[in-house]
Every structure is written in C-alpha cells, then in structure tokens.
C-alpha cells in the first residue's frame, strides 16, 4: 500500500535517540534546549519553546494571551480539530470563520464579519503548509486589540514574504507529529519574539515551577522550587529533541523533494479538466505538507468513490481537511454559514506525498484520478467532458 505520508526517519535519528537514552538524561534537558536554539535560529525567531505537541502549544498561546471565559476566538472550521479545541481549553468560545477557496486559509474578508466586542484573538492557520497572509490579518485585528496567533502546525519551512513562516508572528505554534515534514514522534514548538512570554511559557510547560527540573538537577546547591501559577506538564523529552535535531538538519532536503514531487503532480493533474490543486500563494511558498486536490462539481465520480478506487489500487489517500463544525463535538455551536468550508471539505482529497515517494508510485496515483475523470458515474451518465 502506498501510504498518504511516511516520515523520513532512519539510522541517524535512531542513533541520536539511543545516544540520549544512554546519556541517562531522557526527560526535558540539554537536548531540548539545543533543539530550541537550533529551531529558533532556523526559523529566524527570537525564542522557541519546545512542547509536547502543537495542541498544547496552542493552549499555552491562549493562556499567555490572557484569553479566558466568555472571550471569543475566531478560528477556521476547516482545520484539524485541535485548532478549535484550543479555544475551549481556556473556556473561550471558538467562532468559526469561512476560508478563501484558493489558499484554504482565513482572510480579513472572511474574519471581519465574525468580529464582535468580545473577540480577543484569531488563530490563523497555515493550512496544509500554505502560508496565510499574516500582515493582512494583523492589519485587521491589531487596531481592534485582537491578537493574531499563528497555527503553523503544518508550515515548518514554508516561506511568508521572504521569511520562514512563523518568524513574523507574535506567537506561532508548530507540530512535529509524523504527518508533518519534521517529526519527533509527537512534539510541538511555540515561537515568540517576546522574552517575558518565552520565560512564562517555559514555566507553564513545567507545572508553573520557577526553576526547571534540569536546572535543579545540575545545581551544586540545594534548590527549593516554587510553583508560582497554575501550570501543566507539556514538556518534550530529550529523546524527542535528539530526533528533532537530526530532522532539522534535513529540513532543506525534505522541502526541496516535496516541492519537486508536488510540481510533478501539478503538471500531471493539469490535464484533468476542472481539477485544482494546492499551489503557492502570491506572497510566499508552501512546504507541501499535504497535497490536496479539489474536484470540480461535474467530476464523474464522487470524492468518496475516488478514495475507494485509490484504496483498491493500493493507494492510501485521505479526505481533504476536516470541518470542525460538522463534527459531533461541535454540534449545537452557532456559526454563520460556511459555504466555502463545506464545499472544500466535501470535494477535496489528499494524495500521498512524502520524501521517499517514487515517480512510478506517483504515476499510479495519478492514473486512478485520470481513469476516474473518464468513468461514467453510478447512474451511468457520462459527465465531466
């Protein structure tokens, strides 16, 4: 079976993890600090704080932004559910905004109608790795006292206006889940330019302690720690960070290969009338974390039938980005109409794209779509031509 995604990990990562384990320091320690430094420098961010996931990074971003009960946080429904869930972790109300069809991201035009006097933050997602227009969103929000938090879960190594995505944000959260380009198994990073915020994030991830466990352990004097505010255990381990350091060294190669394979898909799929694929926006480049394809309304087979045919051909594809407002966990939550979101979630699929994907495998994937474009639908009517 051709998987939808396979992380590019191997002997080097295994050796790095083994070295961390044999060092005797396996929880958060010196390798996490090194990974943070290397990540901040790669992204061009002032501070990077390693966390257990992007979900916990989003939670802490909202905590340090001071978001709480009764506040409204505008989020795209068209995102992995963790984006909306984060607002609920701080007892705020997620307010679903629609997205732009080309980028699948929020824009000022989709967010503005959702703003109320209670809006305190917008979580701007770089969906599937396509950078969102952060400057435009900040121009809408900041004069109104609304904070923009970037959910760059998928966007490590994407570029926004000449800088790595996330570098320009006040707070940007990344994921290192294996579906992403750079993986640590599970893991996340929150980057910020604010030194005080970074210090607070380091405390919050470690139970609200004023001295880190690593610092206490290496001190030559007894240290009595204090717990200065409600905190969490959102730490990354040194084993994960050791893997992350190796992965970070490969990021350039990972992106170059993704972009080459993505271009190949784009060229081959351009021959199917009406099919649209993920592409770079005007102001930046994507890392192609996911390669989505939008089927035209008159495509001869349904999206789900196409997924079935791909599976029968040995290809594990996925439905497109989910829409949180359609899930039972969000039932009853009021929202304005979300026509673009509903269209995209129903008509898109995600094709396999990963570092080791071969050209013959890609050809097989495309051949199923090409055959689908020519196939009569279940009622026997030919369409799409």
Ligand X SMILES: Cc1ncc(COP(=O)(O)O)c(C=O)c1O
Q: Just list the catalytic residues.
A: 180
Choosing from 188, 300, 352, 384, the residue that interacts with ligand X (CB under 6 A) is 188
Choosing from 4, 20, 25, 55, the residue that interacts with ligand X (CB under 6 A) is 55
Nearest residue (CB) to ligand X, 179 versus 303: 179
The H or E element spanning position 31 is helix 30-43
Residue 258 in contact with ligand X, rule: CB under 6 A: no
Residue 348 in contact with ligand X, rule: CB under 6 A: no
Nearest residue (CB) to ligand X, 16 versus 153: 153
Choosing from 151, 166, 190, 293, the residue that interacts with ligand X (CB under 6 A) is 151
In the complex, the smallest distance separating the C-beta of residue 45 from ligand X, rounded to whole angstroms, is 18
Nearest residue (CB) to ligand X, 83 versus 345: 83
Q: Could you tell me the two tokens for 145?
A: 């006292």
Residue 153 in contact with ligand X, rule: CB under 6 A: yes
Residue 149 in contact with ligand X, rule: CB under 6 A: no
Residue 177 in contact with ligand X, rule: CB under 6 A: yes
In the complex, the smallest distance separating the C-beta of residue 320 from ligand X, rounded to whole angstroms, is 12
In the complex, the smallest distance separating the C-beta of residue 5 from ligand X, rounded to whole angstroms, is 11
Stretch binding ligand X (CB under 6 A), from 14-22, 172-180, 312-320, 334-342: 172-180
Residue 154 in contact with ligand X, rule: CB under 6 A: yes
158: phi then psi, degrees, rounded to nearest 5: -75, 165
Site string for ligand X, 67-106 (x = CB under 6 A): ------------xx-xx-----------------------
What is d(CA 6, CA 11) in angstroms, rounded to the nearest whole number? 15
Instruction: Give 74's contacts (C-beta < 8 A, 6+ positions apart).
Output: 94, 95, 96, 97, 106, 111, 114, 115, 119, 121, 122, 123
308-337: contacts with ligand X (CB under 6 A)? none
In the complex, the smallest distance separating the C-beta of residue 79 from ligand X, rounded to whole angstroms, is 5
Choosing from 54, 87, 149, 275, the residue that interacts with ligand X (CB under 6 A) is 54
Residue 251 DSSP SS3: helix
What is d(CA 249, CA 39) in angstroms, rounded to the nearest whole number? 10
In the complex, the smallest distance separating the C-beta of residue 208 from ligand X, rounded to whole angstroms, is 21
In the complex, the smallest distance separating the C-beta of residue 363 from ligand X, rounded to whole angstroms, is 28
Stretch binding ligand X (CB under 6 A), from 47-55, 159-167, 229-237, 303-311: 47-55
Nearest residue (CB) to ligand X, 123 versus 269: 123
What is d(CA 118, CA 80) in angstroms, rounded to the nearest whole number? 24
What is d(CA 204, CA 185) in angstroms, rounded to the nearest whole number? 22
In the complex, the smallest distance separating the C-beta of residue 152 from ligand X, rounded to whole angstroms, is 8
Nearest residue (CB) to ligand X, 160 versus 299: 160
Instruction: Give 186's contacts (C-beta < 8 A, 6+ positions apart).
Output: 52, 53, 176, 177, 240
107-146: contacts with ligand X (CB under 6 A)? 125
Residue 340 DSSP SS3: helix
Q: Which candidate, 137, 71, 62, 54, places its Cα nearest to that of 100? A: 137
What is d(CA 301, CA 374) in angstroms, rounded to the nearest whole number? 9
End-to-end alpha-carbon separation of the chain, Å? 31
User: For residues 339, 279, 54 and 16, what is the CA-based torsion angle, rounded to 10 degrees?
Assistant: 160
What is d(CA 27, CA 359) in angstroms, rounded to the nearest whole number? 40
Q: What sign results for the dihedral spanned by CA atoms 206, 212, 216, 221?
A: negative
What is d(CA 109, CA 113) in angstroms, rounded to the nearest whole number? 8
Choosing from 77, 175, 192, 287, the residue that interacts with ligand X (CB under 6 A) is 175
Q: What are the residues binding ligand X (CB under 6 A)?
A: 53-55, 79-80, 82-83, 125, 151, 153-154, 175, 177, 179, 188
């Amino acid at each position: 079976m051709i998987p939808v995604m396979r992380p590019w990990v191997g002997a080097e990562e295994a050796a790095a993890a083994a070295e961390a384990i044999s060092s005797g320091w396996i929880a958060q320690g010196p390798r996490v600090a090194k990974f943070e430094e290397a990540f901040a420098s790669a992204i061009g961010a002032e501070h990077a704080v390693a966390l257990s996931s992007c979900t916990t990074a989003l939670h802490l971003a909202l905590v340090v932004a001071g978001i709480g009960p009764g506040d409204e946080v505008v989020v795209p429904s068209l995102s992995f559910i963790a984006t909306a869930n984060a607002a609920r972790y701080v007892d705020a109300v997620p307010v679903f905004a629609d997205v732009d069809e080309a980028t699948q991201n929020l824009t000022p035009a989709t967010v503005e109608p959702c703003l109320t006097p209670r809006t305190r933050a917008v979580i701007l997602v770089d969906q599937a790795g396509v950078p969102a227009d952060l400057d435009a969103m900040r121009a809408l929000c900041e004069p109104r006292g609304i904070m923009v938090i970037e959910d760059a879960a998928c966007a490590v190594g994407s570029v926004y206006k000449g800088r790595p995505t996330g570098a320009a944000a006040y707070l940007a959260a990344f994921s290192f889940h294996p579906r992403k380009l750079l993986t640590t198994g599970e893991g996340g990073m929150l980057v910020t330019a604010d030194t005080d915020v970074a210090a607070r994030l380091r405390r919050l991830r470690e139970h609200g302690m004023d001295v880190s466990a690593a610092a206490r352990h290496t001190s030559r004097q007894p240290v009595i720690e204090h717990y200065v505010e409600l905190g969490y255990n959102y730490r990354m381990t040194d084993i994960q960070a050791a893997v992350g350091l190796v992965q970070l060294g490969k990021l350039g190669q990972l992106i170059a290969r993704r972009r080459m394979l993505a271009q190949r898909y784009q060229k081959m799929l351009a021959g199917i009338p009406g099919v649209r694929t993920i592409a770079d926006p005007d102001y930046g480049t994507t890392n192609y974390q996911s390669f989505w394809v939008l089927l035209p309304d008159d495509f001869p087979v349904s999206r789900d039938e196409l997924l079935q045919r791909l599976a029968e051909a040995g290809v594990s594809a996925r439905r497109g980005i989910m829409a949180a407002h359609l899930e039972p966990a969000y039932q009853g939550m009021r929202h304005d109409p979300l026509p673009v979101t509903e269209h995209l979630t129903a008509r898109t699929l995600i094709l396999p794209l990963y570092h080791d994907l071969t050209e013959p495998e890609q050809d097989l994937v495309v051949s199923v779509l090409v055959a689908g474009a020519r196939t009569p639908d279940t009622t026997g009517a030919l369409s799409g031509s």
